[in-house]
Amino acid sequence: MIYYWLYPPESYIYSIEYTDGGHLFNSFAPTYFGSDIGYKLYLWDDTTWAFEADILPTLTAYVFDDPGVDKFQLRVYDFDDDAFVKAPTAFILGVTFASPGRFTGSIALLNSDGSPVHVSEPGSLWLLGLGVVWLVYRGRRQR
């Protein structure tokens, strides 16, 4: 079994989806945080996310029922405090596939209320700042 490793940043909920159709996930192996923090697994039932299983904080892989699933959610959960929490570190997820093929998919990072996580893009801010400096310089030069 070959695992493909995905590296999304910190979040509350990870929604993983196979978007090219025809291929399914066979299993996953989540990050072990070394504490009481694990996951609650949810599967899509064509209308809503339904709770499937508690994934305790171990290094054990979880294998889906045949033939596999095209999307699933992992919600980070502190079993000691009995509460949903944000992952304490970046998240590493190993996945296997039910059939050979090319992986085209997505990982949506969601807050505890299900809204998308805002990921800042420092490169965009740098470009914006450079543009403002250029406009100021050009304005002073034309006077």
Residue 54 φ then ψ, to 5°: -85, 130
41 HSE (CA, 13 A, CB side): 18
Cα 61 to the center of its chain, rounded Å: 17
**pLDDT tens by residue, the chain, 143 residues:** 666 667 666 677 777 787 666 678 898 887 766 667 788 899 988 888 899 988 876 667 889 998 888 888 888 888 777 777 777 666 677 888 887 777 777 677 777 677 776 666 666 667 777 888 888 887 777 76
| Residue 122, pLDDT score | 61
4-142 maps to CATH 1.10.540: no
**In the chain, what are the domain boundaries?**
4-142
29: nearest Cα among 66, 55, 67, 53: 55
Measure the CA–CA gap between 99 and 122, rounded to whole angstroms.
38
| Residue 119, pLDDT score | 60
| Residue 34, pLDDT score | 64
| Residue 51, pLDDT score | 92
